[in-house]
Structure 1
C-alpha cells in the first residue's frame, strides 16, 4: 500500500494548556526501499527549512517512491513561531542537545522525541538555512554520508567532526548516513533557493535509490572545505555589506573588508568584519544593508588554501 499520511506525535503539556506536538508526514512508497527521515525548522529563525521540506515532500508521489520518507517540517514549533534560533521557554538551542531527555525541559523533550524518530532511518537529512538577515549555501559531507552530500549538489561542502549534541552527531552515533543542507535565508533569492531544494533533494533521492533515474551532475565542481569560520559583529547597529548573497562562492583576498557596522545614530563606523584567511571562500553573506546585534551571523568564510576535492578526501 502506498500513501501519504500525517500524524501528530505528543511531546509534552505546556503551562499555557497547549499540548506540544510534532507534525510528522509519512510517505509510503509503492515499492520497498530504505527509510529517509528529514527535518526542517530545528532552528526557528531559519524559516527556509520548513518550506524546503514542504516543497520537496509535495513533489514526491507515493507511486514513484521506493521505501518511506518520514518528514518533520517544523521540528521546533515554539522557536518557529517566535522566529528564534532558541526555544523561548528555556532558551536552549535544540541542535546542541540531542538526544535530549524525556524528563527534561521543553527543548530537551523535543530533542528526545526527534531522536526517537531518527532511529527509524537508514538516511537522515536536516534542512537548515541562514536566519533573518543573512544568506548561506553549502552542505555538510560526513564520512558516512558522502553519496547524499555529493548528489545534493552544493558547490561548497564542509567536512568536519560533528558538533556535539547536533542531530547530525546523533545520526552518526547510530550509523545513519546523513547530511545537512544549508540553503538560503535572509529573504534573498528565495525562489531560486527553494527550487534548488526540490531539484537537488530529488537528485539525492535518486542517488540513494528511492527514486528512479540516474542522478544528474548538479555542480560542475564540488569544493570541500575543512576550515570554516563565522565572523560576528561585537557591536550592534547597521550592517553595511560589501558582498551581497549573489556573490556566494567567490574567493576573496585576505584582509578584504567584507562589511562594516555603522552606528545608525552618529553614522560612526563601529567595526569592520575582515576576511581572516590569506584566501577566503564566501559561504554566508548579507544584503547591502541589514540591522545587526552583537553576536549575530555577519559573514562565514572557508579557507580556500586548505580545500580539497571529494575524491581526495576519501582517497585514504
Structure 2
C-alpha cells in the first residue's frame, strides 16, 4: 500500500486520535472546547461525521457514540470516522435540552455564529466539523423520563437510514436550524437515530446502536460485506405527532417502552396526569389518529411538567414503504 495520496502528500496512518477543538472562553474563565475522536481506516473511503449529546438530557447519545466508535477497528475501516460524543458539554452537565448559559436549543440554530452566544458558537464549530463529511449521523435518544425508537430517512440519506435498520422510519423535511438540515444544504447525506432514553431497556438500546451503526457502515461501503436485514419490514411514517401534557404532576403511562412499535386504536388513553397531592386525574393523553403507531412512551410512573414529551405516535394509515417512497 502506498504511503502517499494521489497528490503526493503523506497518507494518514490507520489508527485513532483525540483532538480538542476550542470554541470560546466563557465569563467563568473556562475554556469551552469540543473533544473530537478520529478513526482513520486502512483503506481509502468516505468520511462519516457522528454527533452525540446535542441535547444534554439525552444521555444515551454519548454512550451510543462511545460504543459504536469503539467497536470499529481501523484496520477494517475504509475511510474516516469523525465523532463528537458530547456536542453540548454544558447542556450535558446540566442534563438539559437547552444550554444553561443562554437558554438556546443547539439543534435549532445551525450553522450558528462564531461571534454569537455560547450555543451559537458551539453550532458554528460543529458546522465546520461537519463540512468534512460525506455522511453525517446524529445520535439522539429521548430525555430523562421517556423512551423512543425510530430513525429519520432523508432524501439524501436513504442508504444510511435503511441499512441502520430501524423498523420505523420518519420522512419529512428537516426542521430549520437542525444539524441534519445544515448537512443536507451542504450536500451531505444524513440521518438521525432516535434510540432509547428514560433509563429504560438501556442495554438493549446500546446494543442496537452498535449493531445497527456497524450495519450502516456496511451500507455506505465503510465496512466490508453486505448490510444484514435487521428487521423484516421497515415502515415509513409521514405523519408524526408529539403529545405533551398541559399540566404537571404524576404521569401514569398505560403503554410502557416495551410496547414501542405497537399499533393502537384511535381514542385510546395512552396515559394520564394525576395530581400527586390530591390524587385527582388532571388530564388524559389520547391517541389522536384512527390508527396509531407508538414511537415514544413512558414507564408506568414518571413525574411530568407542562410541555414535557408525553407520547409520540405516527399515523398508521398514511405509512408507506421505502420503495414506494422513492418510486423504486
Range of TM-score over shorter length: over 0.9
Q: Within 2, Cα distance between the matches of 1:195 and 1:154?
A: 13
- Higher mean alpha-carbon deviation, 82-91 vs 207-216, is at 207-216
1:50 correspondence with 2:50: no
Structure 1's consecutive aligned runs of 4 or more residues displaced over 2 angstroms after TM superposition are none
Q: Within 2, Cα distance between the matches of 1:200 and 1:16?
A: 40
Partner of 2:10: none
Q: How does 1:25-174 map to 2 (within 5 A)?
A: 25-174=37-186
Work out which of the residue numbers 14, 18, 21 in structure 2 matches 1:9: 21
For residues 278-305 of structure 1, the C-alpha deviation after alignment (integer angstroms, 9 at most, x for no partner) is: 0000000000000000000000000000
Work out which of the residue numbers 245, 263, 274 in structure 2 matches 1:262: 274
Q: Within 2, Cα distance between the matches of 1:196 and 1:262?
A: 34
Partner of 1:312: 324
Listed as ranges, the gaps of 5+ residues in structure 1 are none
For residues 1-57 of structure 1, the C-alpha deviation after alignment (integer angstroms, 9 at most, x for no partner) is: 101000000000011111000000000001100000000000000000000000000
For residues 48-81 of structure 1, the C-alpha deviation after alignment (integer angstroms, 9 at most, x for no partner) is: 0000000000001111110000000000000000
For residues 240-294 of structure 1, the C-alpha deviation after alignment (integer angstroms, 9 at most, x for no partner) is: 0000000000000000000000000000000000000000000000000000000
**What is the number of residues matched between the two proteins?**
316
- Tell me the CA shift for residue 214 of structure 1: 1.3
Give the RMSD, CA atoms, in angstroms.
Answer: 0.5
Normalised to the residue count of structure 1, the TM-score between the two structures is 1.00
Partner of 1:298: 310
1:178 correspondence with 2:197: no
- Tell me the CA shift for residue 213 of structure 1: 1.3
SS in 1 for 2:271: strand
For residues 159-186 of structure 1, the C-alpha deviation after alignment (integer angstroms, 9 at most, x for no partner) is: 0011010000000000100000000000
Q: How does 1:279-290 map to 2 (within 5 A)?
A: 279-290=291-302
Partner of 1:249: 261
- Tell me the CA shift for residue 96 of structure 1: 0.1
Partner of 1:226: 238
Normalised to the residue count of structure 2, the TM-score between the two structures is 0.96
SS in 1 for 2:35: strand
Listed as ranges, the gaps of 5+ residues in structure 2 are 1-12
